[in-house]
Amino acid sequence: MMMHPRARPRRTKPQGQPTRGKTGRNRLRRVDNFLLRYDPALLARQDGIWDDALFVDLGYGAEPFTTLESAARFRRVNPHLRVLGVEIDPARVATAQPYADDCTHFRHGGFNLPLAADTDGRCERARLIRAFNVLRQYDESQVAAAYALMAQAMMPGGLLIEGTSDPLGRRWVAWLMRAAGQAAGAGWQTEGLVFSASFQAPFDPSDFQAVLPKRLIHRVVEGEPIYTFFAEWKRAAKETVAWRAWGERTWFVATAERLAEAGYAIDLRRRWLRTGYLIWKDAG
Ligand SMILES: C[S@@+](CC[C@H](N)C(=O)[O-])C[C@H]1O[C@@H](n2cnc3c(N)ncnc32)[C@H](O)[C@@H]1O
């Protein structure tokens, strides 16, 4: 998909509200490393009509570190990857402009991404949207509308990763949502909920509760699936605590296996579990 040289982003009112802009260098490194392993083909593809599709960092914060770091990481598999940082705070867009180049853009916008207007029947699309530590500052009632707007921007088969991390990005939880259908705005299919532990701190399932995405953070109450999941995970941790003698990593793997035995669809591949990623596939 080529963008017409005269194409300009549509001017519509950015949807959302400015929030705290706290970010940090390499805060989202583990998110990027996960994505590079989870769907490298999506990042690398340069074939056909979607070869220009964007990686969008929605809500990059006070300074554009995360966008630029991800651009460098993802361009290892796709040197021509077009990258778009979107901020609802115009001052933060201005701060980022000196870092823009032919393939790296920073635009003022919201959940309704500022994509270039259709030209010759073609328009910009996102292959991947990362919205990290953004929706956490919204009301739960606003999440569905935000997701619906982001779906409008996706190419078929594109991915949204939406989640929350701790300040250093060592612990985070995120939804993996796949753009369903061929038409933009066709909606989302949940691919899983990822729990990421860097093992730089002791493993404890309860710690993930503080970094749940907005859709879940207020739902850790009896009767809700996420409550039952944590109860099971904590029980699994107790029952397998002997594994801790072989290290936190081994213990983490043992708890995942227990969760699977209890009927949860957990991805048990060692490439995920040994590196601290627990993917709960039927979380949606
Ligand atoms: C806490 S910072 C997160 C920065 C970075 N993503 C990170 O994880 O380190 C959240 C940023 O999202 C921006 N933001 C909030 N709502 C937004 C929206 N609807 N569209 C674009 N940016 C938004 C805020 O202005 C803020 O700078």
Q: In whole angstroms, how large is the CA radius of gyration of the chain?
A: 19
Question: Within this chain, do residues 165 and 226 fall inside the same structural domain, yes or no?
Answer: no
Residue 82 lies in a domain: yes
N-terminal to C-terminal alpha carbon distance within the chain: 32
The rounded Å distance from CA 48 to ligand 1 centre is: 32
Instruction: Report DSSP state, residue 85.
Output: E
Question: Within this chain, do residues 93 and 158 fall inside the same structural domain, yes or no?
Answer: yes
Question: Within this chain, do residues 159 and 190 fall inside the same structural domain, yes or no?
Answer: yes
CA distance 12 to 9: 9
Residue 79 lies in a domain: yes
CA-nearest residue for atom 5, ligand 1, is 60
CA-nearest residue for atom 6, ligand 1, is 60
State the residue range of the domain holding 193.
29-197
Q: Which two tokens stand for residue 125?
A: 């699309």
Q: Which of 197, 227, 246 is the last residue of a domain?
A: 197
Question: Within this chain, do residues 191 and 230 fall inside the same structural domain, yes or no?
Answer: no
CA distance 190 to 210: 22
Residue 3 lies in a domain: no
Question: Within this chain, do residues 151 and 46 fall inside the same structural domain, yes or no?
Answer: yes
Question: Within this chain, do residues 183 and 242 fall inside the same structural domain, yes or no?
Answer: no
Q: pLDDT tens across 126-168, in order?
A: 999 999 999 999 999 999 999 999 999 999 999 999 999 999 9
Query: According to the model, what pLDDT value does residue 47 have?
Result: 74
Question: Within this chain, do residues 250 and 181 fall inside the same structural domain, yes or no?
Answer: no
CA-nearest residue for atom 25, ligand 1, is 18
Q: pLDDT tens across 161-180, in order?
A: 999 999 999 999 999 999 98
Q: What is the dihedral of CA 126, 130, 133, 134, to 10 degrees?
A: 10
The rounded Å distance from CA 155 to ligand 1 centre is: 22
**Which ligand 1 atom is at minimum distance from the Cα of 23?**
9
Contact 86, 58 (CB under 8 A): yes
User: How many domains, the chain?
Assistant: 2
Which helix (H) or strand (E) segment is 234 a member of? helix 225-239
Residue 64 lies in a domain: yes
CATH code (residue 139): 3.40.50.150
Query: According to the model, what pLDDT value does residue 240 have?
Result: 98
Q: pLDDT tens across 196-239, in order?
A: 999 998 999 999 999 999 999 999 999 999 999 999 999 999 99
Residue 77 lies in a domain: yes
- In 3-state terms, what secondary structure has residue 176? strand
Contact 82, 128 (CB under 8 A): no
Regarding pTM above 0.85, the answer is yes
- Of 17, 19, 152, which is best to mutate to test ligand 1, by the most ligand atoms within 8 angstroms of its C-beta? 19
Question: Within this chain, do residues 79 and 186 fall inside the same structural domain, yes or no?
Answer: yes
Question: Within this chain, do residues 184 and 68 fall inside the same structural domain, yes or no?
Answer: yes
Question: DSSP states of 91-154 as a string?
Answer: HHHHHHGGG-BTTEEEEE--SS--PBPPBTTB---EEEEEEESSGGGS-GGGHHHHHHHHHTTE
Question: Within this chain, do residues 69 and 138 fall inside the same structural domain, yes or no?
Answer: yes
Question: Within this chain, do residues 166 and 255 fall inside the same structural domain, yes or no?
Answer: no
Residues sharing a CB contact under 8 Å with residue 219, sequence separation 6 or more, in sequence order: 226, 227
Residue 206 lies in a domain: no
Q: What residues line ligand 1, using a CB cutoff of 6 Å?
A: 16, 18-23, 27-28, 58-61, 66, 86-89, 92, 110-111, 132-134
**Could you tell me whether strands 104-108 and 82-87 are parallel, antiparallel, or unpaired per DSSP bridges?**
parallel
Residue 162 lies in a domain: yes
Query: According to the model, what pLDDT value does residue 18 have?
Result: 84
Q: pLDDT tens across 23-82, in order?
A: 999 999 999 999 999 999 999 988 777 889 999 999 999 999 999 999 999 999 999 999
